[in-house]
Amino acid sequence: MRLLPAPPDEHVPLTRGSVKPRAIAWFGFTAFWGHLRHLAASAIATENIDSRQWMIPEAPDELLARLLDVIGGDKTKSTMLDAMNGETWIDFVADTGDDVSVSEAVARMVFREYEIEEDGKRLILPRGDIMMLGGDLAYPVATVSEVTRRLVDPWNRVLEKCDDGKPRALLAIPGNHDWYDGLDGFARLCQAPCAFEEETSPSDQPKPHDNWLLAWAEAFSRGEALKKPKSVALRGYVPVQRVSYFRLPLADGLELWGVDRQLREIDPRQTAFFKVDTGASARVIVLPDPIRAWGEPQANGVKSRDALGLAADRDPMLIMTGDIHHYERSEEGPSTHVISGGGGAFLHGARVGGEATVPGAYRRVAEFPGPCASGAMLWSLPWHVGIGRAGLLVSGGFALFDAIELVAHLFKQPTPAPFVLFFAVAIGTALLVGWRNHRVWRVIPFAILTAFAIGEVPLLLGIAAEHYEKMLFGHSAIDKIIGVTIASIFAAFCSGAAFGVMLALIARFGLNHAQPYAALGLPGYKNFVRMRITKSADGKGVVDAFAIGIVDPLGKKSEPCLVDRFRFSGKH
């Protein structure tokens, strides 16, 4: 298939999926379960209970040998490029299993051969010999059930139709959503089996339960462990790693590093593993968090970089990350930073507020989507949140407090609901803005104004209802109940809309770029990176990368396009 050129930066209506499991509503009850798992996992990590301490990483040549057992090649060679006759391809995909329809559309995009024009000639971009997953396999928690339903099943439906019989290798690093489940779902998909383990057919293994709570309750009542499949598999892809991090010799002077920071930081054993000098002068480093995003340095990525003892302006690196659900590329000295988190999760738009003025601010070379398209998406936030499309957890909370406040006002009964709502919204707004990342004088006034606007909605409606009580509510008790119900629903809509305005404003002001788009939950602008590893004239490894994307994956008129292309030579 011939790739189209990158589209203009303009608003395009996006098609949402309608097949279950649908996309996670990030202000809803399902996502709330993910937040609870995040809290529990973080508490465990804080206690320094770290399962990576049990992991014994393999030497790079051992991992290379197992990989070549899968994809073929000369095992007497010391690098992958030499073993594969001077050329190999890697597909990088991150932030995958969310809406099942989008997952299937992403699979159709990834598991396809493309062609482009290069120097007046036709260049074929084949499927990668290696699939590199960049973390966050499924949402909101990457349990074996969610990984199966939201990633493996839809991808395998596509792979069954395009199976060419060629075995390929699977490599991966875990993201934060994988660690919420203690890497259980991650390991069942991405961990190579031990030599003494018996192979089992998928039909012989228990199927993941669609309702984990009922399955857990049933197993608990019997005093049994919850039965899960020993493994789940992508058709034609064989996992080759034994631990959650690795290093692989790609070519002379070029290594591939897969790094795992768990939920907090890179552990000492992993730090020592990566500090062993193998003579590589350049690296392709896959991190779970970007070092920079939206024009600003990112704390988690910076900590990982520092723990590895590297500096992008000194050490040539191609840093590949997901976590942020869009495509972005920037340059820093001899290094290239790439974010490609478009594997299926909801869309994060580009920066639409003022350019960052913090130390380390940088210019983006390529973005998908761009700021114009991203800014246009924010216009729908008030309506989207107001009608409950962002999730019923927030909408339901507003409805409850608004009803209590409205009824109390009409019946002239005191209630603490207005004060509780005011403080809840103020604190919630400050957390969403990110009070640790901005000056207090910017966050506190904004949070107070937002809390005042949302908290006063039912009070103003109550005053209006009291003034027009007979006209609106009639005289009978039933009339009053109906009137109060209608007024409460309207108040909840207005409160939600005001909350949506707040979310849009924090993106417009450049205060927070993640939460507004999480509330929208848009399915568009999916992308992945296909990389060709070859040799330069001096025999060193060179990476030619092609970012491939699709604007509206579920739309009938949208086709894959070449979002960006670049070369990483690993030279100063």
> Which of 126-130, 261-265, 394-398, 559-563 comes out lowest in average pLDDT?
394-398
In this predicted structure, what is the pLDDT of residue 239? 96
In this predicted structure, what is the pLDDT of residue 214? 58
Domain range annotation of the chain = 4-193+216-347+529-568, 378-519
What would the mean pLDDT of 324-341 be, rounded to a whole number? 97
Backbone dihedral angles phi then psi of residue 25, each to the nearest 5 degrees: -85, 115
CA dist., res. 157 & res. 526, Å (int)? 19
In this predicted structure, what is the pLDDT of residue 358? 81
Higher-confidence residue: 225 or 302? 302
What would the mean pLDDT of 430-453 be, rounded to a whole number? 75
Sheet strands (E) in 21-129 = 88-93, 114-118, 121-125
In this predicted structure, what is the pLDDT of residue 422? 81
What would the mean pLDDT of 125-148 be, rounded to a whole number? 95
In this predicted structure, what is the pLDDT of residue 373? 96
> Which of 350-354, 434-438, 524-528 comes out lowest in average pLDDT?
434-438
CA dist., res. 64 & res. 540, Å (int)? 18
In which band, very low, low, confident or very high, does the pLDDT at 370 lie, cut at 50, 70 and 90? very high
- Residues 26-66 pLDDT 10s: 888 777 777 777 777 777 766 677 888 888 899 999 999 99
In this predicted structure, what is the pLDDT of residue 446? 81
CA distances 346 to 140, 282, 515, Å, are 11, 33, 11
Q: Please, are residues 63 and 240 in contact by the beta-carbon 8 Å criterion?
A: yes
Higher-confidence residue: 88 or 463? 88
- Residues 402-419 pLDDT 10s: 788 777 776 777 777 777
Is the pLDDT at 151 greater than 70? The verdict is yes
In which band, very low, low, confident or very high, does the pLDDT at 318 lie, cut at 50, 70 and 90? very high
Tokens of 121: 């000639």
In this predicted structure, what is the pLDDT of residue 477? 65
CA dist., res. 113 & res. 91, Å (int)? 12
Beta bridge partners of 171: 132
In this predicted structure, what is the pLDDT of residue 479? 64
Q: Please, are residues 353 and 508 in contact by the beta-carbon 8 Å criterion?
A: yes
In this predicted structure, what is the pLDDT of residue 224? 60
In this predicted structure, what is the pLDDT of residue 473? 53
In this predicted structure, what is the pLDDT of residue 279? 82
What would the mean pLDDT of 127-154 be, rounded to a whole number? 95
Higher-confidence residue: 117 or 106? 106
Q: Please, are residues 524 and 12 in contact by the beta-carbon 8 Å criterion?
A: yes
Q: Please, are residues 519 and 381 in contact by the beta-carbon 8 Å criterion?
A: yes
What is the residue type of 457? V
Q: Are strands 237-239 and 121-125 parallel, antiparallel or unpaired?
A: unpaired
Residue-wise DSSP of 165-201:
S--EEEEE---HHHHTTTTHHHHHHHBPPPTTSPP--
Sign of the CA dihedral with 424 first, then 346, 138, and 367 last: negative
- The CA-to-CA distance between both ends of the chain, in Å, stands at 36
* Region of residue 511 (phi > 0: left; psi between -120 and 50: alpha; otherwise: beta): alpha
Q: Please, are residues 280 and 249 in contact by the beta-carbon 8 Å criterion?
A: yes
Average pLDDT of the chain? Answer: 87
- Residues 462-503 pLDDT 10s: 666 666 555 555 556 676 677 777 777 888 888 889 889 989
| CATH architecture of the domain with residue range 4-193+216-347+529-568 | 4-Layer Sandwich (3.60)
pLDDT over 90, % of the chain: 56
Q: Which residues contact 470 (CB under 8 A, 6 or more apart)?
A: none
Beta bridge partners of 556: none
What would the mean pLDDT of 145-159 be, rounded to a whole number? 95
In this predicted structure, what is the pLDDT of residue 190? 95
CA dist., res. 184 & res. 74, Å (int)? 34
SS3 437: coil
Sheet strands (E) in 326-368 = 327-332, 335-340, 366-368
Is the pLDDT at 154 greater than 90? The verdict is yes
In this predicted structure, what is the pLDDT of residue 264? 87
In which band, very low, low, confident or very high, does the pLDDT at 210 lie, cut at 50, 70 and 90? low
What would the mean pLDDT of 241-247 be, rounded to a whole number? 96
What would the mean pLDDT of 525-551 be, rounded to a whole number? 94
In this predicted structure, what is the pLDDT of residue 155? 97
> Which of 91-95, 306-310, 453-457 comes out lowest in average pLDDT?
453-457
In this predicted structure, what is the pLDDT of residue 38? 74
